[in-house]
Structure 1
Amino acid sequence: LFEIVEAVLECFIFHFLSAPTKIYANKDGNAAQLEYIRMELGEPDASGRRRPVPIEGSNTVMEVDNILSAIGQRADLSFMAKEAEEYRVETTKWSTFAANEQTLQTNVPFVFTSGDVFTGPQTVVKALGTGRRAARAIHLFVTGQEVTAPPSELLKPTPEALIPHITGVAEEPRAHMPELTIAERALNFREVELGLKPGQAERESRRCLQCGNVCFDQSAFDELFVEA
């Protein structure tokens, strides 16, 4: 959402539910026009997802200077084709490694996976989480133990605050990050966020981050877990 808001401020125009169909070149062979067709959401498929379908007669041509293809990310697993059959890790239709959700162990017993190559494009936090699970499973494997799922699992998100107030901790608003003005950043690739000043950074580090306060109420924390 942050990137979308910033793009709108910089006068980007979004064409949602639109699919490119043709690129027209000028006499020098460079891209000059892009044709796209508008889409609408069709009926739900077997999975319940409404897939986009073209709207007949909605083809539109726009003038362009450059075209950048950014239609998603996927892992490059082509190297697996060079592996011997017994060492070839199974993959999914999304070009990720197939593995046990809890242990991250693949069909090749000594190969474990984690991060985007397992989940697909995700957050850093998600990558760290799968990495921790994989590290635990790898430890079990290399020490000759049975590779099992973790003994407990977080069942629901930690509440924003299990204790409504902590004595001595005052609520403070987040420090505003200084940024280049729209005019300053419109025609260059300079870093937009200028960074907090030392005093701001120090105050920010003292703010309560609303982590859930589980360290103050162990009984409430225990209720979030059950034995597997």
Structure 2
Amino acid sequence: MFSRFCSLSLVLSAFLTLFSNVTLADEAQVLSSLKKALPQYEVGSIKFHQASGLYVVEMQAGPTLHMTADGGYFVAGDLYKVNGTQLENETEVAKLAKVEALPEEQMIVFKAAQEKTHITVFTDVDCGYCRMLHNDVPALNEKGITVRYLAFPRAGVGSEAYNKMVSVWCSEDPKAWLTKAKQGESIPENKCVNPVADEFNLGRMVGVRGTPTIILANGSLLPGYLPVDKLAKEAGL
């Protein structure tokens, strides 16, 4: 019995080693093909999707691709799982999970005293609807909704809005200065190591097209402003 168990273990170990080597070789082929075909994009990550047999490639500031192991074919867009009569957008779920996984330390967080849920908001200090949403933060907190802000300067990295948001994130009191910025006040210039560009790029990757874009705790994406009661209902309260 012990001998048979050892033999089985050796076979399994050999199979896993072979599979790992093949996977690494396929990843190299996928990466090589993409660099030749799409040199304008930088590859963010490559992961093997075992159920479909395709490689999921996230391009930085670009589309998500699903590519064959030989690097000869790919489709751009979302991958859906067919579950009986239901469809699950696995690509969107994976993208939005990246938002949920971010540490709150790099966000500007307005915490509810008795938190029941939270929303994560991609925001721009110069956006009118973002200012409307920010005015609602006390009412949202009162309902038990924590509001967590990520930076999304719509004009891009290096823009005036970007510089304002860097100054907010680098200030001695980001919550207070975010509120002042959204009230139209001038912000003293501050510089530091900050997450603003990374958050902007993350927003583009997950499909943010405008601000505010709201991510619920369950991973659902809501594009645009919603009044307090309607937003609370969407958040499950």
- Bin the TM-score by the shorter chain: under 0.3
* Between structures 1 and 2, the one with greater strand share: 2
* Between structures 1 and 2, the one with greater helix share: 2
Structure of greater Rg = 1
TM-score of the superposition, structure 1-length normalised?
0.22
TM-score of the superposition, structure 2-length normalised?
0.22
